[in-house]
Amino acid sequence: MNGINKPSNEDHFSVNGNDLQIFQGTLIHATNDHPLLILEDHVIGVGQGKIAFVAPSSELSNLIDRHGFQQNEVRQLQKGNFLMPGFVDTHIHAPQYVYAGTGTDLPLLSWLTRYTIPVESKFKDLKFASLAYNDVVETTLKVGTTTACYYATIHKHASLRLAEIAANLGQRAFVGKVNMDTFSPDYYLETTQESIRDTEWFIEQVRELNCPRVNPIITPRFALSCTSPLMTQLGVLADKYDVHIQTHINESLDEIASVKEKFPGYGNYARVYDAHGLMNNKTVLAHCIHMEDDEVSLIKERGAGVAHCPCSNFTIMSGVMNLRERLQQGLKVGLATDVSGGYSSSMLVAMRQAVIASRVHSISLTDGKEHIPVEYHEAFRLATLGGSEVLGLSDKIGNFEVGKEFDALIIDPHAANSPFHVYDTLYTDTIEDIVQKFLYLGDDRNIAEVYVGGERVKPRT
Ligand SMILES: [Zn+2]
């Protein structure tokens, strides 16, 4: 439900005035009815990390009476600034941040062998892992990613270190110790028993951090790097601990052919995961580019979500996912950077490339069928609310509904060294223009403040 334009009793929950942070200005967010709703001159109250009320400024005196705060406690956003929900990156490889922006010259399977495996194997060194993981969490927070769904590596201690760093720096995260007991050189491989034992240890250790915002996620790298016994036991673990699952599927044609060869008799790639207990409503499936009808039906039936990674798909030339078709098929879709198949850790880049990828279908790939390209409004929805749905967090984050946690960004279009300009004399940008300029041209210089669960994580106090 929206519940924002028409304040009612449901739009408030009671929080003592002393515990409230109140912002006044323009809010933008996605709802079920609007991919990008702009609410000018509104107030939003945050108490105990959650959104306590959202209402037009005309309601301010009623809100003061109801919640017992003072007018001077209301923080006015600077003219032109606006609040938006934080970005949800549904698929990112934290160790690959080290070589992001390089190694962009090979397709998937050669890229894995040439670049990925050698770099990921270095994360056995906890000192190196700590350095790199600190960089990736700091960088993604800086560019507004308040929730990230991370792949780590096969190393359990380094993977736990990533979870600790996310918890310490205040990012909401799923963290996965990668599982691979085949299809990798000996120096970066585990036995089936080690993989299961270390994954169980990892799940328990992450839970012992007692940080509700950081959770373990079962992470079979993809079907080619896992034996059937490993996948079966991972399915059992997912069930036992009631944890999320993430993996890759239908990314490149070579990969799909190899999966069919390795797992004959299952029919298709999605059914391989399903037969091993890895396909349910807590499963996040990266890519889903080349899909058979049966796979779409199965994924929809199981309630799994799709992490669309357009930057990666272009960069390592895996294909161009038909985003409009996935949405029309009724699949849950979020956006992802897929660092470092995707060269950028910014969800702004993922949004822009999602729009371009959809236009590519309109221009050349539809075989004469009508195709309505996805526009920036919808990309915004997918990068925020859509991602929260894919990760099963839409009751907690994704937009500014009352009761959700306050994961938010303050955007400053007039920031020093802003990569774009706003005009308010002679030529006047509307608020829609300014929002669009930020989404197309903005970067971390425009992301003045970042909040996760009501706590400011950029700049840190
Ligand atoms: Zn990936």
Q: Using one digit for the tens of pLDDT, what is the confidence trace for 336-351?
A: 999 999 999 999 999 9
Range 381-408 burial, b when 16+ CB lie within 10 A, else e: bbbbbbbbbbbbbbebbbbbbbebbbbb
For 150, other C-beta atoms within 10 Å of its C-beta total 28
Q: What share of the chain is helix, strand, coil (3-state, %, to 5)?
A: 45, 25, 35
Among candidate residues 415, 401, 364, 301, the one with its CA nearest the CA of residue 12: 401
Contact 436, 84 (CB under 8 A): no
Which amino acid is residue 108, in one-letter code? Answer: L
Identify the DSSP state of 78: P
Distance 287 CA to ligand 1 centre (A): 8
Same fold, 9-85+400-458 and 87-390: no
Bond prior to 225 in cis (omega within 30° of 0): no
Q: How confident is the model at residue 13 (pLDDT cuts 50, 70, 90)?
A: low
Question: What are the C-alpha distances in Å from 140 to residues 137, 204, 266?
Answer: 5, 26, 38
Q: How far is the CA of 312 from the centre of ligand 1 (A)?
A: 8
The whole-number average pLDDT for the span 28-49 is 97
Domain ranges across the chain = 9-85+400-458, 87-390
Q: Of 49, 325, 316, which Cα lies nearest the Cα of 170?
A: 49
Higher pLDDT, 263 or 103: 263
The reply to whether CATH 2.60.40.420 applies to domain 9-85+400-458 is: no
Q: Has residue 369 got a pLDDT over 90? A: no
Ligand 1 centroid from CA 338, angstroms: 5
- The alpha carbon of 30 and the centre of ligand 1 are apart by a number of angstroms equal to 26
What's the gap in Å between 263 CA and the centre of ligand 1?
Answer: 21
Which pLDDT belongs to residue 3?
A: 37
Neighbours of ion ligand 1 (CB under 5 A): 286, 338
d(CA 2, ligand 1 centre) in Å = 33
For residue 248, the CA-to-ligand 1 centroid distance in Å is 6
CA 461 / ligand 1 centre spacing (Å) = 34
Mean pLDDT lowest for which of 75-84, 173-182, 417-426?
417-426
Cα of 91 vs centre of ligand 1, distance in Å, is: 6
- DSSP conformation letters of 216-262: EEEEE--GGGS-HHHHHHHHHHHHHHT-EEEEEES--HHHHHHHHHH
For the segment 239-263, the average pLDDT, to the nearest whole number, is: 98
Angstrom distances, CA of residue 327 to CA of 35, 306, 416? 13, 10, 38
Rounded to the nearest angstrom, the distance between the alpha carbon of 211 and the centre of ligand 1 is 25
pLDDT tens for each residue of 284-322:
999 999 999 999 999 999 999 999 999 999 999 999 999
Taking the centre of ligand 1 as the mean of its atom positions, its distance from the CA of residue 251, in whole angstroms, is 9
pLDDT of residue 45: 98
Least confident stretch, 94-108, 234-248, 439-453: 94-108
| Position 271 pLDDT exceeds 90 | yes
Using the mean position of ligand 1's atoms as its centre, give its distance from the Cα of residue 93 in Å: 6
CATH 1.10.10.10 fits 87-390, yes or no: no
| 416 Cα–ligand 1 center, Å | 34
Which tens digits make up the pLDDT trace of 393-416?
A: 999 999 999 999 999 999 999 999
Mean pLDDT of the chain: 95
341 CA distance to ligand 1 centroid (A)? 7
Residue 67's pLDDT band, with cuts at 50, 70 and 90, is very high
Q: What is the pLDDT of residue 460?
A: 86
Q: Which residues contact 2 (CB under 8 A, 6 or more apart)?
A: 31, 32, 33, 34, 37, 401
Percent of all residues in the chain with a pLDDT value above 70, rounded to a whole number:
95
> How far does residue 121's CA lie from ligand 1's centre (Å)?
16
pLDDT at position 373 over 50: yes
CA of 231 to the centre of ligand 1 (A): 18
> Please, are residues 150 and 88 in contact by the beta-carbon 8 Å criterion?
no
Token pair for 10? 């449901």
Query: Tell me, what's the pLDDT at 410?
Result: 98
Specify the pLDDT at position 127: 98
**Are 86 and 125 in contact, with CB atoms under 8 Å apart?**
no
- Output the CA 305–ligand 1 centroid distance in Å: 14
Q: Three-state DSSP class for 305?
A: strand
Cα(215) to ligand 1 centroid in Å equals: 19
Give the distance (Å) from ligand 1 centre to CA of residue 20. Answer: 39
d(CA 175, CA 160): 8
What is the model's pLDDT at position 9?
39
Three-state secondary-structure class, residue 28: strand
CA 99 to centroid of ligand 1, rounded, Å: 14
Q: What is the pLDDT at residue 365?
A: 66
Instruction: Tell me the C-alpha distance between 50 and 157, whole Å.
Output: 33
221 alpha carbon to ligand 1 midpoint, in Å?
8
Q: How far is the CA of 359 from the centre of ligand 1 (A)?
A: 23
Please name which of 438, 458, 442 lies closest in space to residue 450, comparing C-alpha atoms. Answer: 458
Ligand 1 mean position, distance from CA 342 (Å): 9
Q: What spacing in Å lies between the alpha carbon of 218 and ligand 1's midpoint?
A: 14
> What is the pLDDT averaged over residues 119-133?
98
